Each structure stands twice: as structure tokens, then as C-alpha cells.
Amino acid sequence: MFYSIRHLTQFRYDSAVSESLMEARMHPRTEGSQRCLSFQLSVDPRAMVYQYRDYLGNSVHHFDVPGKHIQLRMIAESLVEVQSVPELPKRLGADAWTQLDALVASGDYWEMLMPSQFAQPTEALLELSDKLSVVRRDDPLTFLRELNESIYTWFEYVPKTTHVDSPIDHAIETRCGVCQDFAHIMTTLVRHVKIPCRYVSGYLYPRAMRPDRSSEGASHAWVEALLPGLGWLGFDPTNNLLAGERHIRTAIGRDYADVPPTRGVFKGKAASELKVSVRVAPSDAPPPLETEMSGPPQWEPASEVEQIDVQHQQQQQ
């Protein structure tokens, strides 16, 4: 399946600012069943955009706008191919937990096992662990499927109930939140039973017949857990899904703090307003000859987009 993705981010300031420094993690990854066939990041005001890969293999674009400006707009456009994932077994073997421990012991997974900024084992989290019976049982795959469903059932998807920097206790106490909260809660619970788990940011192509709980027009978050014989397998607790052909991966990290779509600073005293729009659509266009844009990206005029609440959109990202 081919998807075209358009991710617009616009900051407006109530007075002129200068020296905006910005990082963007919007470039879909190429690995496994996913290939990013083309990517372009356009910036207004115009700026030279540079790229590097962080230690987890995420593509990071960064730029500097030195002059005074009252708005900053970024448009990330991608063409991605996502192939169907092989059918999974119903369960793993009786010795799967032993195999998992041996796999972890022989590899370098400690960062995805340790607590991180938004994935902390708090008292509320440990109480939830008892209520959901988060202990090693059956086999790792069965356990993760059941936990994925339990989080989906236990929590209600309610936008604006938490903030982008809210600790997981807020969602646990109110039993509601958004995809970022559910991904952090599941990450912490999975690490609690010594399964390496990482946070995934990206996009979810919406289905028409059975709408997902997560919002359209926004980016998405889910988790990946390491399993013997299967590698990193994606689980989407927001929608009670295994990550598949509709999930498009942009970046991976310990939690949201590692992979925000945008991160930056500016000089000046100004209040800012954020507008974001995400469109994911199937594409029948043939793959481009170039796998990536060559040379510095240029700004192109963009059509106006509907404003999305700042906190709501940041949480989806």
C-alpha cells in the first residue's frame, strides 16, 4: 500500500521574534515492511535545512531562521510504501519467556527496559498493574495481546483531558486520555515485566467502515515490544490493534521526549499560536526515481488549513 502524507505545522507570534532554531522528526523510517520513497520539508521563511540521523536511526531535520519573523511554517510531504505484515502465530512456545531473557541478555536493550522521562513506574502505575494482572504468564505474545486489550478497555479516549507534558498518573487517575498517554502507560507496564519496549510516533491511516478511536488529522503514537523469533512487534492500545499496514512509523524512542515532531527555541518575548494539519491518503502514483530530495528544500505556498487545538494536537504527536 502506498500513502501520501502531508504534515503542516505553523507557529504564529503576536510580535516579531528572531533566531528560531528548530528540529523536526517527520521523515518516515525505512526498515522492515516500510519504505519511505520520497520526503521533502519546506520552510517559510526560507532556510537551509540540514539532516542527520540520531543514535536510534531517526531522521532529524534542523534549520535556523536568523531574521525577524511573525510566523514559521513547515510542510513535510512524504510518499511511503507499507507492505502487509506476515500473519502472526496465535501464541509462542512454552519456553518463550526463557528465550526472551536470553535474547535480552545477549543484546543491548537496557534503554528500552529502564524508566524514562514519561514512562516512570509510579505508585498509581503499580496499582494499575495489580488491577490488570500485569505479571508474566502464558507466553509473551499472549500477554502483550491481553495487555493491549486491557488498556483499550480500561481507559476512555478523551481529547484535552491531559497535556503534552502530563505524567501518566493523570490519565490513570481519570481513566481517560489520548494515544500518547496510553503508549506511555503500556510502555511502563511492559518494561515492568522485563520486556524491552519502545515508543513509536507516526501516522495511522483512518479506516472508513470501522472508525478508530484516535483522531483524524493528527499524528499517532503506539509501542513496540521485543519478542523472540518475531523481533520488534507493534501494539496500538488506543485502538486495540496490532500495528499493521495502516501504521506509518516516523520515529522511535524511549518515550515522547525523544521523538517530538518539532522542537525549537526563538529569541524574543511573544505569545505563540500553533496550527497543525495532517493528511494521510492512499496513493496510486508510481514511486519516484529519487528516494530522497536532493539539495536544499524550497518553500512552496500552502493552502489554509483548519485550526486544531494546540494541546490536543501536541498530544497526538
**Which pLDDT tens digit goes with each residue over 165-189?**
889 999 999 999 999 999 999 999 9
DSSP E strand boundaries for 178-260: 197-204, 220-227, 231-236, 241-242, 247-253
Grid look-up 515492511 returns 33
DSSP H or E segment with residue 192: helix 179-192
Which of the listed CATH numbers 2.60.40.2250, 2.40.50.180, 2.160.20.80, 3.30.465.10 matches domain 2-82+261-316? 2.60.40.2250
> pLDDT tens-digit profile of 98-145?
999 999 999 999 999 999 999 999 999 999 999 999 999 999 999 999
Residue spans per domain, the chain:
2-82+261-316, 96-258
**What 3-state class would DSSP assign to 238?**
coil
Residue 66 CA to residue 101 CA, distance in Å, equals 51
Confidence band for 285, pLDDT divided at 50, 70 and 90: low
DSSP run (H or E) holding 126: helix 123-131
Q: Report whether pLDDT(7) > 50.
A: yes
| pLDDT score for 283 | 87
**Coil, helix or strand at residue 305:** coil
Protein fold of 96-258: C8orf32 fold (3.10.620)
What is Dmax (Cα atoms) for the chain? Answer: 64
Q: What is the pLDDT of residues 71-88, one digit of tens each?
A: 999 999 999 999 988 889
Q: Does residue 189 or residue 18 have the better pLDDT?
A: 189
Say whether 157 sits in a helix, a strand or coil.
Answer: strand
Q: Work out the number of other CB atoms within 10 angstroms of the CB of residue 286.
A: 9
User: Mean pLDDT highest for which of 201-205, 271-275, 306-310?
Assistant: 201-205
Q: Residues 187, 189, 195, CA angle at the centre, nearest 5°?
A: 75
Tell me if domain 2-82+261-316 and domain 96-258 are identical in fold: no
Q: What is the pLDDT of residue 313?
A: 43
